[in-house]
Amino acid sequence: MKSLVKKSETLLSVESKIKNPKSKIPGAHVALFAALLMAGGVAFFAGRIDPYHLDVLTNIGINVILAVSLNLVNGHTGQFSLGHAGFMSVGAYLSAAVTLHFVPKLFGEDGGGTLATGALFLAALLTGGLASALAGLLVGIPSLRLRGDYLAIVTLGFGQIIVVMFQNLEPLGGALGLNGIPPYTTVFWVLAFAALTVFTIGCLVRSTYGRGFLAVRDDEVAAAAIGLDTTRYKIVAFVVGAFFAGIAGGLYAHFRLTITPGGFDFTKSIEIVVMVILGGMGNTLGVILAAVLLTLLPEVLRPVAEYRMILYSFLLIMLMLVRPQGLFNFKPGKAKP
């Protein structure tokens, strides 16, 4: 836990390490404010919006958090992780355990006021996020010495281990999972956290400290040769990515109200990786749009019923063939050094 605290100090010092203010995105704070305002607006009119549309919007928000946080690891830092669903499950289980444990004790039968439940939910989400970040640290320290395919396999293994662990943890419901999770997730929470994720990771990679992530991706040897502690960068990326995946997991748990270990298996990890690749590795806007598109696509394809997944897969293949550089990547082709 001590080293985790150290990591968060690293993050806090990021702001003060911004040496070149020109490299900051113009109006990032304005964008965050606008996004939060929008989240508030949508929440305000939530009563008049079709519940189905609200559900889709919630799914989109959760997927944006997952994709943007994985993008920090896979896209910006260039480390191929296949275990994002594993981190998500840590956050989902931990936060659900917190609310399930404390809601009856604190609020009894009446369910508590909006403010009290909101505070408890926030605490539960943060617990889930921090636990997930800790898991990221534990997996990251031994495995981030590996590169490329090897790292992918180790993270894949981690994802599977987590699923099996939750399946066998009886206090957390075992294979049946957790049920009766209070429905705390609203569209406001999800959109607010999505905005916060995009903002935090955007500022992180645009800071001078954060350029190190890109340097590690572009050339690890050169990055080490000019004095970057590359392992530390990879671990920070892993821990921050895992933290937001944990938050997304918590939001997911309090949205679905039932979680089972099977919901966080390998296919979920792949789904997130596909969003990152389709959006264009390291291209935040592209990844957000890809997350939106890939969440909407199965919904739009509902009318074709049993052909849905075939069509979905077919579209994915087509997209990859037509735009291998990422669907929303409009920069000129990357030159190789």
Partner 1 sequence: MLSVANLSVSYGAINAVDGVSFAVPAGAIVTLIGGNGAGKTTTLRALSGLLRTRGGSITFDGADLTRLPPHEIVARGLGHVPEGRMIFANLTVDENLAMGAYLQHDRQRIAENRDYVFGIFPRLKERLRQSAGTLSGGEQQMLAIGRALMGSPKFLMLDEPSLGLAPRLVGTIFEKIQEINRSHGLTILLVEQNARLALEVSSHAHVLETGRVVMSGPSAELRADPRLKAAYLGG
Contacts to partner 1 by CB under 8 A: 19-20, 23, 208, 211-212, 214-215, 217-219, 221-229, 282, 332, 334-337
CA-based end-to-end distance of the chain: 40
Please give the structure tokens belonging to residue 161. 């281990």
Task: Note the helical H segments in the chain.
Answer: 2-16, 28-44, 51-70, 84-107, 114-143, 148-168, 187-206, 211-218, 220-225, 230-256, 266-279, 284-300, 308-322
Q: Which is nearer to partner 1, 236 or 293 (CB)?
A: 236
Please, what's the b/e burial string for 234-268 (b: 16 or more CB within 10 A of its CB; e: otherwise)?
bbbbbbbbbbbbbbbbbbbbbbbeebbbebbbeeb
Could you tell me the smallest distance in angstroms from the CB atom of residue 197 to partner 1? Answer: 22
Q: Which is nearer to partner 1, 63 or 230 (CB)?
A: 230
Q: Which is nearer to partner 1, 115 or 335 (CB)?
A: 335
Could you tell me the smallest distance in angstroms from the CB atom of residue 147 to partner 1? Answer: 14
Residue 266 near residue 273 (C-beta atoms within 8 A)? no
Tell me the one-letter amino acid at 212: G
Q: Which is nearer to partner 1, 12 or 317 (CB)?
A: 12
Q: Which is nearer to partner 1, 126 or 276 (CB)?
A: 276
Helix (H, G, I), strand (E, B) or coil at 193: helix
Q: Which is nearer to partner 1, 108 or 337 (CB)?
A: 337
Could you tell me the smallest distance in angstroms from the CB atom of residue 232 to partner 1? Answer: 9
Could you tell me the smallest distance in angstroms from the CB atom of residue 333 to partner 1? Answer: 9
Q: Which is nearer to partner 1, 215 or 273 (CB)?
A: 215
Q: Which residues contact 172 (CB under 8 A, 6 or more apart)?
A: 93, 97, 166, 178
What is d(CA 42, CA 197) in angstroms, rounded to the nearest whole number? 18
Could you tell me the smallest distance in angstroms from the CB atom of residue 288 to partner 1? Answer: 19
Which one, of 139, 162, 133, lies nearest residue 243 by Cα? Answer: 133
What is d(CA 202, CA 204) in angstroms, rounded to the nearest whole number? 5
Please, what's the b/e burial string for 113-131 (b: 16 or more CB within 10 A of its CB; e: otherwise)?
eeeebeebbeebbbbbbbb
Could you tell me the smallest distance in angstroms from the CB atom of residue 13 to partner 1? Answer: 12
Could you tell me the smallest distance in angstroms from the CB atom of residue 22 to partner 1? Answer: 9
